[in-house]
Chains A and B, each alone.
Chain A
């Protein structure tokens, strides 16, 4: 058993108090949400914050709310819940399906949506689907509050634009228009507790059931230092009528939109080849779903 280094621990009841603690303790403090990532890193001796500020007792951070044209999810919502909310399952099914394949029940019962974003692992499960959904995050510090599109949030492995005194409070996802469908596929050696070898999230919106593609998002995971849009693939889809041939073209473009590396989980060539396969498969599925129709 690896041992944790020593640290001070706070459980503020108010967000403002959490912000105050962060700003006063400076870079020695860190937020702890579910702890599934930070505690592992602390045990391994990779980081050793002197202060941990828990978000666990701040009530409004675990809620899912419907706003006028979007829903917002409190950053402290655990992954297991994410897959349970009717609203999420129906409206943002790709988010629910990514949540279902994250880790194992033990991890899903502790890990939070905020933690999964801020950890910024290149193979994390939620960032690609959230990016495909066009999500933004709300960052709050003692003195300010800002919104950042998830597309602009990640810098590289473990690195994001969040400042040491900022807390990610909410994830905001715009309502999806009618005739939108999406799909997420994570490829790995086994059915659970798997860090993706490659994962792809796709989402398309049609102008009408048998119409053309109005909007397309394809996000590739585990094939670059951070989740990336397959830009050229997205572009080629817009304004076109979906077809197997079109998806093949997009898929082969997607292959060149990423820069995978070889590591213990997989080789460059395999990863690149799988980007093509998963892109095609997710698009076909998304199309089927999009044709189904209008949003309630």
Chain B
């Protein structure tokens, strides 16, 4: 396949100049503002709501409750289990109860403060371990949301064959996406009577479905447009403001804006699932892994969101990028009255990578083998059988990621207080074992440009640019001759969510598919012999310009409900990071000095975008490893939620490996989540190398690490 011609990011200049408008910057004459009134209790029934004082405040237009919902009252991205506005019961601090709509935002906030809600508290559950046997049920059906297993071979036999067994427990906590732009949306009725919502989101078509359900209106009457989105990381997949804005517009017939403060965002945004991971690995003397047994306990909060997805994805990825003959994984997700956990860059895999990479190093230490060597001899490659018994047929560049880093690894020079660590990962691109198609279509616009219609949401990762490149390359046109029309339910078909690192691969392929058809047409119309697009347009203007539909759905199979056997993903990305840290043993402060990051992306469509993702992933991985910790009830804003700054960024060297994926556009896979996944693991292993203590709980922040070092020396 040819290299794809690179173009500059199409949104870069406008963003650098600060000229880009986000949803919260929009203004429409006469617009109203909505503010959500939220539960202050983790688990309670609502006994009384007093809105009198708020209602009569001048400028307050409406106060909406669950009784004002004309359609279905529940929503949810996987299952409809969450009340849009609480009816009788609240199940977490921050659960929406009412929406105040007023002439100004200030008034709406003031009115919201004047509303009194009385509660009868119910025993609340905050620990997934006691959840199953707790005397109260958060929902009727029991407090276990999901239990998945991955079975391969015979683990007992595998452990019997092992010369060494290491067994540890790993823990992670809640993280917030902390996107720069908090959740925001604006809605209005257009002059055809359609309800239009402009919102910061990762998925316009899903949002339209939810609004349609909630309002009891057909989808044709609703239009969802993606506003420029300042980061998502999974936090803008679930419904955030959209249905509330829609409900307010529905009732007031006026434009309405809702935008969250950082505090509201922290309170309501779904979090990364805290996972508790018991991990046992057995290996032969030569380092060959014989068996892996894993028990995962997760806390999903009171509603499903992506709880089942994370439960399954963590289980499938539990063995990491290694071929393990005997596997037994149990993964359970429990309900609690803690914050809702949902999608966050990697869906449980960054957590599990922390565990399996710590284990790999422990095996290497126990056997006095080189950690890179142990990874090498166990690594997945073409022809390997994964834990779900999928045979990797192509594009399995894991070993290559190790080989690329090997010279640096072998040449590393350990200075005092410093250490090096490796972290590897594999990651299934797209949704797990279910259909997750993307559609796109192409045509010629009146202005003589090729119109690319796609439902893909650009959330800062660069999909606009990459999709354009794929189109230009496969069609043989210049990007100046293309008009990108995206992220709008009126002008595009469903491309699925911008999540699971799937858009370059799946929507890229859908566009590729459409352009193959269009190419034939253009060829016939002698475009490639020099005929202009405008001319072709005029020929077809009367009888209608043809539309070229593109479609791709990666070939996966449903998984066996007991063993998870099957083909959950059509392709996997692979990566290894090597990190050097410096640890101040006396204070516990860790500085990340240098990261070498090797990624098998299938094919690099845009090298700068890939590097951008890797840099960002490393920053997020530093946060996950060393400082980020959302504490329910204590973390209210960025004041006490530490995300790394540019000053905390290490030097980064990126190595791109192109083991082409035959089903992907030009061989491409994805890199969005893979960029983050191995980073925390590599830091933890580097800390162990530096100061000979192993963190089992993240974040391994300054004080926690000091404690670990201290307990080592006092032994």
Contact = CB atoms under 8 A, between A and B. Distances in A.
Contact of A189 (B262, B642, B706): B642
The listed residue with most A CB atoms (<10 A of its CB), out of B109, B626, B642, B646, is B642
Contacts of A265: 640
Given A1-B259, A3-B109, A190 B647 contact: yes
Contact of A187 (B645, B648, B702): B702
B227 to A, nearest CB: 15
B648 A191 contact: yes
A1 B24 contact: yes
A191 B634 contact: no
Contact of B631 (A104, A264, A273): A264
B647 A267 contact: no
A193 interface: yes
A2 B638 CA distance: 13
B460 interface: no
Interface string A156-196: 00000000000000000000000000000001111111010
B627 A190 contact: yes
B635 A197 contact: no
A197 B701 CA distance: 12
Interface residues of A, number: 21
B425 to A, nearest CB: 25
Nearest to B591: A191
B106 A190 contact: no
What's the interface size class on B, roughly? 20 to 34
Contacts of B639: 195
B647 A191 contact: yes
B589 A187 contact: yes
B572 to A, nearest CB: 33
A190 B645 CA distance: 7
B587 A189 contact: no
B593 to A, nearest CB: 12
Interface in A252-280: 264-267, 270, 273-274, 277
B642 A270 contact: no
Contacts of A190: 627, 642, 644-645, 647-648
Interface string B247-273: 000000000000101110000000000
B109 A193 contact: no
A80 to B, nearest CB: 15
B640 A2 contact: no
A222 to B, nearest CB: 13
B627 A189 contact: yes
Interface residues of A, dominant DSSP? loop
Interface string A77-114: 00000000000000000000000000010000000000
B634 A264 contact: yes
A189 B588 CA distance: 10
B706 A270 contact: yes
Contacts of A273: 706
A60 B586 CA distance: 45
B703 interface: yes
Contacts of A187: 587, 589, 702
Interface string B629-659: 0010011000110101111100000000000
Contact of A104 (B262, B645, B706): B645
B105 interface: yes
A192 B645 CA distance: 7
Contacts of B262: 2
A267 B534 CA distance: 70
B626 A2 contact: no
B647 A192 contact: yes
Contacts of A197: 702-703
Interface of A: 1-3, 104, 187-193, 195, 197, 264-267, 270, 273-274, 277
24 contacts: A1-B24, A1-B182, A2-B263, A104-B645, A189-B626, A189-B701, A189-B702, A190-B642, A190-B645, A191-B645, A191-B647, A192-B645, A192-B646, A192-B647, A193-B645, A195-B639, A197-B703, A264-B634, A265-B640, A270-B703, A270-B707, A273-B706, A274-B587, A277-B587
Interface of B: 24, 105-106, 109, 182, 259, 261-263, 586-587, 589, 626-627, 631, 634-635, 639-640, 642, 644-648, 701-703, 706-707
Given A2-B261, A2-B263, A190-B645, 15 more contacts: A1-B24, A1-B261, A3-B105, A3-B106, A187-B587, A187-B589, A188-B702, A189-B642, A190-B642, A192-B646, A193-B645, A197-B703, A265-B640, A270-B706, A273-B706
Closest 9 CB pairs of A and B: A191-B647, A192-B647, A192-B645, A189-B627, A270-B703, A264-B640, A189-B642, A190-B648, A191-B648
